[in-house]
A = this chain, B = another copy of it.
Amino acid sequence: MSKFYSSSLQKQSAELFDVSSDIDAFRGALLRQFQSLRQNSMTLAAPLSPEDWMVQSMEDASPIKWHLAHTSWFFESFILKIYDQDYKVFDDSFSYFFNSYYQQIGKMQKRSERGLLSRPSAQQVKDYRAHVDHAMAVLFENAEEDLLPKLKNLIDLGCAHEEQHQELMQTDILHGFYQNKDLPAAYEPLSPYKESVLHHISNDNKDRDCHDNGHQAGFDAEWISYPGGLVETGANLDEFAFDNEYPNHKYHLNPFELLSRPVSNRDYIKFINDGGYRNVQHWLADGWAYARAHNWEMPLYWRLGDDGHYYQYTLFGERRLNLDEAVRHVSYYEAFAYASWADAWLPTETEWEVAAASDCQDQFDKGHFLENGCPELSDHYIKRSLGDDHTHHGLQNMFGTVWEWTQSPYTPYPGYKPAAGAIGEYNGKFMSSQMILRGGSSATPKGHVRASYRNFFPPHVRWQFSGFRLAR
């Protein structure tokens, strides 16, 4: 098992150039942005074998190999085939194999059968990536000047798209390996992290186990108040955002409060111990039916050991559950039930965004994110947020810790129109029966999220790095 990938992840340059002033610099910046993005995907995949790259454990998840090829297909289909008239398609079958859901482009491999693709091989997919990368580099160099702004937009989209798949590669391999009785580790932790975890388990946690009744839910956090009123939400226009973050629009909010940090594992165990999974009154009807049908008793990847402690399967293998981390791998249904049990609500996406936009402009650097050394949440940030002196300092861990379920279904903003053509299938057609999550997780590439960013998943889904915080 190789060293963990984080140390070799490329920091994306935040270079912003004005096309009109320095074209060559602009071409170069585009190339660097693209190459570092593409390299990061390979860095995530590198510790895994070609056999690992094939694992598909459920229809929702895709094999690593498929992610690597699909993201290349995206650049090929929406940029190279359209804007590079000299581009030679690598393999005609690949558009069938690696189209995800763009019905307007053509037929595609059945989603549940992506894991059957032993061919094309891992090596062919690497070659495909190299082929696309090369063609893109040539295009950056040769594209006519007036194409460049358009290209920039598409590359921003393609990079954001591949960043999404970088997170999915982690969630999907985690789920895939979880099916293996031996619970293999996908990655080898970096030493410092490893030590801190070991230290934590052996000392810090020893009297704070799951039967600890010394804390009320939210006791060690604070409620932050917001005045509400007429607010404006949605992406601003000076940076890249997905189409579903537009148009900007006004929204009226009642005054509200948010909890300063996400609900922790320690909090969540109190819910479990109080019979949270057995008490129908806290649950949505759909949620209760789903939880009973699937025998949910705890978050995904947890196991109650014979020693009375909870254990959690992670990308680094199974370890003792860190009680001071944000709870994750819970569904919207569980988040809802917890909030009801705690006599609170989940925030609406508007509340979350308004709070994040006003308080958290400096928090991107504090988030965990993928590049900060571990896709796992250490307790560093939460502890800091509590302060050694228990003085609190506003909202914490809004970005890069866990995706936070909101109570808002995924709907179009007033006036939203999907783009014309196949690219319009990217977001709009999923606006049904899904819930909004905000903030990004420790598996999210840094720079990928923003306050207006809208992630979305169906309410029963648990394999994402999804947690929540409370509102009232």
In the complex, per-residue mask of A145-160: 1 if CB is within 8 Å of any chain B CB, else 0: 0000000000000000
Q: Report yes or no: A101 in contact with B285, Cβ–Cβ below 8 A.
A: yes
Known A254-B415, A284-B431; judge A119-B50 contact (CB<8 A). no
Number of interface residues of A (CB under 8 A): 65
A429–B117 Cα gap in the complex (Å)?
34
* A409 contacts chain B at the CB level, 8 A cutoff: yes
Q: Report yes or no: B104 in contact with A281, Cβ–Cβ below 8 A.
A: yes
Q: Report yes or no: B280 in contact with A97, Cβ–Cβ below 8 A.
A: no
A159–B414 Cα gap in the complex (Å)?
37
Q: Report yes or no: B55 in contact with A284, Cβ–Cβ below 8 A.
A: no
The closest CB in chain B to the CB of A333 belongs to: B432
* A287 contacts chain B at the CB level, 8 A cutoff: yes
Known A121-B49, A433-B433; judge A254-B408 contact (CB<8 A). no
Q: Report yes or no: A430 in contact with B103, Cβ–Cβ below 8 A.
A: no
In the complex, per-residue mask of A311-348: 1 if CB is within 8 Å of any chain B CB, else 0: 00000000000000000000011001000000000001
* A109 contacts chain B at the CB level, 8 A cutoff: yes
Q: Report yes or no: A115 in contact with B118, Cβ–Cβ below 8 A.
A: no
Give every chain B residue within 8 A of A307 (Cβ-Cβ): none
Q: Report yes or no: A407 in contact with B415, Cβ–Cβ below 8 A.
A: no
Give every chain B residue within 8 A of A287 (Cβ-Cβ): 432
Known A414-B254, A415-B254; judge A109-B52 contact (CB<8 A). no
A423–B429 Cα gap in the complex (Å)?
36
The closest CB in chain B to the CB of A345 belongs to: B412
Chain A positions within 8 Å of B, measured between CB atoms, are 49-57, 93, 96-97, 101, 103-104, 109, 113, 115-119, 121-122, 176-177, 179-182, 184, 230, 249-254, 280-281, 283-288, 332-333, 336, 348, 407-409, 411-412, 414-415, 424-425, 429-433, 459
A50-B51, A118-B176, A284-B431 given; 18 more Cβ-contact pairs under 8 Å: A51-B53, A51-B54, A51-B119, A52-B118, A53-B118, A55-B118, A56-B116, A93-B181, A93-B182, A96-B181, A104-B281, A115-B115, A249-B252, A253-B414, A281-B424, A284-B429, A284-B432, A285-B430
